[in-house]
Structure 1
Amino acid sequence: MSELLKEKLGYDKTFDCVQCGYCLPACPTYETMEKETHSPRGRINLVKMVAEGKATVEDLKEPIEKCLGCMACTTVCPTNVQYGAIFEGAKEVIDEEDAKSKPRKLVEDFFFQSFFPSSKWMKSLGNATWIYQSSGLQKVSRRFGLTKRAPLHIHEFEAALPSMPSPKKRKDRASRYVRKRPAAAKVGFFTGCIMDSVFFESNQNTMELLLRSGAEVVFPEEQTCCGALHAHSGKIDTSIELAKQNIVAFEEEGFDYIVNNAGGCGARMIEYDALFKSGTEWHARALRFVSKVKDISEVLVEMDGLVFEKELQRTVTYQPSCHLRNVQKVENEPLELIRQIPGLTLKELDRPEFCCGSAGVYNIVNYEDAMDILDVKMKDVCGKNPAGVVTSNPGCLLQMKLGIEREGLSREIDSVHLVDLLMEAEPKPK
């Protein structure tokens, strides 16, 4: 077997796994699928076998494709196995094999090279959805069941989408905001692809929270997709190019923080340094970038500039983003902010570490498996009898809305991003 293949698969890293099994109870797919090959240690063993020529890439494909990439296994691993690097290496090798299929390659090239990195495409998606919602087409489509004919269970996800802002509101957003001088901190805001396209209002609320905390907020115009979807699909080279573009976009103004409000995006950006060889210029630039990357909850707690004045008399639970918790290592800050809201009762989940099944586009390409995982999560949620589920990632937000719909509880429970809940509580500067 070629040394290049071994290097791509992270063969040397597989020896850190001692097959102890500590990862098994932490792995959602092992719990729902009950197969050794669908556990972290099983996948690592398969990677090792492929690298040694004892198994084929085709043998590896299905177990790797079924992995959520939630990184829960890394939080319990006693030998600190670099599962993320092994996982992405396997994805890269599988992607190279699949690229031999020309029709699939053409479709993937459009989405990964043109669609997700393009702010124009993202704005167009948001504007098209606004037209669909505001023109009455959505009501007609639902009345006659037209969306049910769409592929990939699109009708279920469409029902979970929030109301879109008008194209004018998107266009009117400036690239720089400040309320007082001197500002307590200078923040570069990473808007994200899906967040800015589908959850524009949540981005606006994020900015408003930062402003009320005393920060100056800047939207670097040259920023692009974080590259998470590309990396998790094996398109490592494209992911590296996107990382470079973001590093350049954010390094010019000397920001105190580079803030995101999407757990998956933040998890990718906080690992940009791992994309470049140690000692190179790009590695040094990536390290400076990474040192400033923060989730919105971290910054709000650190700045401590808000007091919440409106009582919210209801019970909520918190569904943490896997990548926020397991990769960014942010656990307490969202809970601390939720507890600051007067009148609000927080009931924590029994298994907050268990993935909701969103995982980027996992719930689209592996729908049935994602729903099995979601059912486990919803059992935990329903046991708390909340009026709301607070999340910290767009994929989690849509997935929880879908879970609530599947349980027939849309009139009793809502799903909301943390920043939207905080704004509802009418924060004021201290």
Structure 2
Amino acid sequence: MRCGFCLPACPTFRETGLEAESPRGRIALMKATVDDVMEPDVPFEEQMSHCLGCRACEPACPADVKYGRLIEQARDAIELHTKQHRGWVKGVRKLVFQGLFPHPKRMELLGKGLKLYQRSGLRAVVRKTNATKLLPKQLGDMERILPDVAGKGVAKTLGTRIAAKGERVGTVGLFRGCLMDAMFSETNRKTAELLSEAGFDVVIPEAQNCCGALHAHSGETEQAKELAKRNIRAFREAGVDAIVSNAGGCGAILVEYDHLLHEEPEWLEEAQWFANRTKDISSILWNEGRTLPFAKQTGSGAEPVKVTYQDSCHLKNVMKGGAAPRKLLDSLPGVELVEMKDAGSCCGSAGIYNITQPDMANRLLEKKMDDANSTTAHYIVTSNPGCLLQMKLGIERHANDKRMQAVHIVDFLHERIEHSNRPIDKVNR
């Protein structure tokens, strides 16, 4: 297919106007390489790396071309055959993809290390002395908007089983993620508590690990497959009705485990079981849970809190989950949802894209903040940790009103729950 419907949906094409920066152009480059018309040289690799992987082209495609799968196959082939990585790059990739993300206990140590850095006074010293200027500008800026880290994961806080409040609706497994649990464990805790309020027994399988999204997007497909198998086994043994994700980037690969493992027939049925039961937190709360007890607005003349919603690309384009978050926000007493122009366009986070491709990421972020500023919202709400950090960075750099805040939808909803006096029932089994 070469119709070009994907072009206006592609953020990099919209920024540059270059055919090679579009899905159609990149597919043509892939085909030319496969057909030996061109070599998979450094410019080819760079063009594949320029793609955000947001997959906005897929809903726009009348032929349902699975571009996301093509770009991941291209990157996997590049990693298998490339000779361009310098020694330190290979070392960093091995450390991150093999030595860190697949190991929950090491990720927990990372969280504890960040907590120590933030609360020991070292962070204050680093900022006071402008030591962050020794880092690349993008990393220095990212340091300023990191959340305060709790230092322990959700299972250590709540236990591995949380009972439903009131009438039970079903049993769900919480996918805690790796970076999500290391850096946003409070959001994981609030996710479990919202699910409990909505009538779900919540199970947090201890044997789960990283979803494998960053591995799959970076050409480490075999590692992604191994991580997928461990997760399938962990949640299958937990006997849950559904697997709940609160991170759009994780959810997108979880619902495609059946494709990831499609060449391994002994795993296909199990992978389909897992993929078919994976749901985003907003979707399961809105469509299947009991009505949440949101606190009523007090004060007759109180101004509504104005919020705007920034879509997670993978939640919107892969999980088709753009409606439920908006319905939840729109149902909140005293909250006015203001739709942002191009809310579904990528903010530039895209996993680690804002670190590896900062120029393009920053261009997209500045445009995104123009649209956010025009809403005059008090809050930018999103459903993915990477998007959340990117929007925090956008507020830091480009917000007209510095009182604007970026929040995860779980944190925003949880804050507005009229909590009962009954404590969370945590049962470790």
Q: Which residue of 2 aligns with 1:131?
A: 116
After TM superposition, the structure 1 = structure 2 runs for residues 31-430 of structure 1, keeping only pairs within 5 Å, are: 31-58=14-41, 59-98=43-82, 101=85, 102-151=87-136, 153-167=138-152, 171-180=156-165, 183-277=168-262, 280-301=265-286, 302-311=288-297, 313-409=304-400, 411-428=402-419
Task: Describe the SS at the equivalent of 2:347.
Answer: coil
Q: Which amino acid aligns with 2:38?
A: A
Question: Is residue 20 from structure 1 mapped to residue 20 from structure 2 by the alignment?
Answer: no
The answer to whether the 8 Å contact 2:154/2:188 transfers is: no
Instruction: Provide the C-alpha distance between the structure 2 equivalents of 1:53 and 1:149, rounded to a whole number of angstroms.
Output: 44
TM-score (norm 1): 0.92
The Cα shift of 1:129 comes to 1.2
The structure-2 alpha-carbon separation of the partners of 1:408 and 1:322, relative to structure 1 and needing over 3 Å to count, comes to closer
Task: Describe the SS at the equivalent of 2:279.
Answer: strand
1:327-361: per-residue Cα shift (whole Å, max 9, x none)? 00111100011011111111011211210000000
Task: Describe the SS at the equivalent of 1:307.
Answer: coil
The Cα shift of 1:232 comes to 0.4
TM-score (norm 2): 0.92
The Cα shift of 1:310 comes to 4.4
Instruction: Provide the C-alpha distance between the structure 1 equivalents of 2:166 and 2:290, rounded to a whole number of angstroms.
Output: 18
Q: Which amino acid aligns with 2:163?
A: V
Q: Which amino acid aligns with 1:306?
A: L
The Cα shift of 1:100 comes to 6.5
The Cα shift of 1:370 comes to 0.3
Q: Which amino acid aligns with 2:381?
A: V
Instruction: Provide the C-alpha distance between the structure 2 equivalents of 1:310 and 1:181, rounded to a whole number of angstroms.
Output: 20
Q: What fraction of aligned residue pairs are identical, expressed as a percent? A: 44
The structure-2 alpha-carbon separation of the partners of 1:168 and 1:78, relative to structure 1 and needing over 3 Å to count, comes to closer
The Cα shift of 1:257 comes to 1.1
The structure-2 alpha-carbon separation of the partners of 1:196 and 1:84, relative to structure 1 and needing over 3 Å to count, comes to same
Q: Which amino acid aligns with 1:230?
A: H
The structure-2 alpha-carbon separation of the partners of 1:167 and 1:190, relative to structure 1 and needing over 3 Å to count, comes to closer
Instruction: Provide the C-alpha distance between the structure 1 equivalents of 2:238 and 2:182, rounded to a whole number of angstroms.
Output: 25
Instruction: Provide the C-alpha distance between the structure 2 equivalents of 1:255 and 1:29, rounded to a whole number of angstroms.
Output: 40
The answer to whether the 8 Å contact 1:152/1:365 transfers is: no
Unaligned runs of at least 5 residues, structure 1: 1-17
The answer to whether the 8 Å contact 2:292/2:417 transfers is: no
Q: Which amino acid aligns with 1:265?
A: C
Which is further off, 314-323 or 155-164? 155-164
1:8-48: per-residue Cα shift (whole Å, max 9, x none)? xxxxxxxxxx2111111100001112211110000000000
The structure-2 alpha-carbon separation of the partners of 1:196 and 1:380, relative to structure 1 and needing over 3 Å to count, comes to same
The answer to whether the 8 Å contact 1:99/1:105 transfers is: no
Instruction: Provide the C-alpha distance between the structure 2 equivalents of 1:77 and 1:70, rounded to a whole number of angstroms.
Output: 14
The Cα shift of 1:168 comes to 9.4
Instruction: Provide the C-alpha distance between the structure 2 equivalents of 1:200 and 1:279, rounded to a whole number of angstroms.
Output: 34
CA-atom RMSD in angstroms: 1.9
The answer to whether the 8 Å contact 1:298/1:333 transfers is: yes
Which is further off, 314-323 or 129-138? 129-138
Unaligned runs of at least 5 residues, structure 2: 298-302, 421-429
Which is further off, 92-101 or 186-195? 92-101
Instruction: Provide the C-alpha distance between the structure 1 equivalents of 2:103 and 2:237, rounded to a whole number of angstroms.
Output: 21
Task: Describe the SS at the equivalent of 1:221.
Answer: coil
Task: Describe the SS at the equivalent of 2:390.
Answer: helix
- How many corresponding residue pairs? 412
The answer to whether the 8 Å contact 2:377/2:404 transfers is: yes
The structure-2 alpha-carbon separation of the partners of 1:170 and 1:82, relative to structure 1 and needing over 3 Å to count, comes to closer
Instruction: Provide the C-alpha distance between the structure 2 equivalents of 1:172 and 1:390, rounded to a whole number of angstroms.
Output: 25
Q: Which amino acid aligns with 1:111?
A: V
Instruction: Provide the C-alpha distance between the structure 2 equivalents of 1:402 and 1:172, rounded to a whole number of angstroms.
Output: 29
Q: Which amino acid aligns with 1:201?
A: E
Task: Describe the SS at the equivalent of 2:366.
Answer: helix
Q: Which amino acid aligns with 1:353?
A: G
The answer to whether the 8 Å contact 1:152/1:364 transfers is: no
Q: Which amino acid aligns with 1:40?
A: P
